[in-house]
Amino acid sequence: MVKRILTVLLLFPTLVCAQINTDRVMTIARNALYFEDYVLSIQYFNQVINAKPYLYEPYFFRALAKLNLEDFQGAEADCDAAIQRNPFVVGAYQIRGLARIRQSKFDGAIEDYKKALHYDPENITLWHNLTLSHIQKKDYNAAKEDLESLLKVSPRYTRAYLMRGEVSLQQKDTIAALNDFNKALELDKYDPDAWAARAIVKLQQAKYAEAEADFNRAIPLSAKNAGNYINRALARFHQNNLRGAMSDYDLALDIDPNNFIGHYNRGLLRAQVGDDNRAIEDFDFVIKMEPDNMMAVFNRGLLRAQTGDYRGAIQDYTTVINQYPNFLAGYYQRSEARRKIGDKKGAEQDEFKVMKAQIDKQNGVTNKDVAQNKDKENDEEGGEKTRKKSDKNMNNYRKIVIADDSEAEQRYTSDYRGRVQDKNVNITMEPMFALTYYEKMSDVKRSVNFHKYIEDLNRTGILPKRLRITNMEAPLTEEQVKVHFALIDTHTSAIVEDEKNASKRFARAIDFYLVQDFSSAVSDLTQTILLDGDFFPAYFMRALIRCKQLEYQKAEQAVETDVVPGDNKRKEITAVDYEVVRKDLDKVINLAPDFVYAYYNRANVSAMLKDYRAAIVDYDKAIELNPDFADAYFNRGLTHIFLGNNKLGISDLSKAGELGIVSAYNVIKRFTDQSE
Q: At 69, give phi and psi (nearest 5°).
A: -90, 5
pLDDT of residue 388: 86
pLDDT of residue 222: 81
Q: Are strands 468-470 and 434-436 parallel, antiparallel or unpaired?
A: antiparallel
Residue 416: pLDDT band (50, 70, 90) is low
Q: Going by C-beta distance under 8 Å and a sequence separation of 6 or more, which residues neighbour residue 653?
A: 633, 634, 637, 638, 664, 665, 667, 668
Average pLDDT over residues 360-382: 52
Q: Name all domains of the chain by residue range, CATH numbers in brackets.
A: 23-119 (1.25.40.10), 262-362 (1.25.40.10), 432-560+570-625 (1.25.40.10)
* Per-residue model confidence as pLDDT tens digits over 218-264: 998 887 889 999 999 999 999 999 999 999 999 999 989 999 999 99
Alpha helices in 363-472 (DSSP H): 368-380, 405-408, 452-460
* Per-residue model confidence as pLDDT tens digits over 325-355: 989 999 999 999 999 999 999 999 999 988 8
**Burial (CB count <10 Å: 0-12, 13-18, 19+), residue 77:** middle
pLDDT of residue 390: 83
Helix or strand holding residue 434 (H, E): strand 434-436
Identify which of 652, 658, 126, 615 has the alpha carbon closest to the alpha carbon of residue 418.
Answer: 126
What's the mean per-residue pLDDT of the chain?
87
Helix (H, G, I), strand (E, B) or coil at 465: coil
Residue 418: pLDDT band (50, 70, 90) is very low
Exposure b/e, 86-117, CB count within 10 A at least 16 = b: eeebbbbbbbbbbbbbbeebbebbbbbbebbb
Angle between helices 208-221 and 663-675 in degrees, nearest 10: 110
Listed range (146-150, 442-446, 475-479, 538-542) with the worst mean pLDDT: 442-446
Distance CA 324, CA 370 (A): 10
* Per-residue model confidence as pLDDT tens digits over 624-675: 999 999 999 999 999 999 999 989 999 998 898 888 887 787 788 777 654 4
Identify which of 116, 180, 108, 121 has the alpha carbon closest to the alpha carbon of residue 149.
Answer: 121
Dihedral sign for Cα atoms in the order 259, 262, 268, 272: negative
Q: Does residue 366 have a pLDDT over 60? A: no
CB-CB contact of 636 with 623 (8 Å): yes
Distance CA 525, CA 626 (A): 28
Q: Does residue 515 have a pLDDT over 70? A: yes
CB-CB contact of 72 with 99 (8 Å): yes
Residue 361: pLDDT band (50, 70, 90) is confident
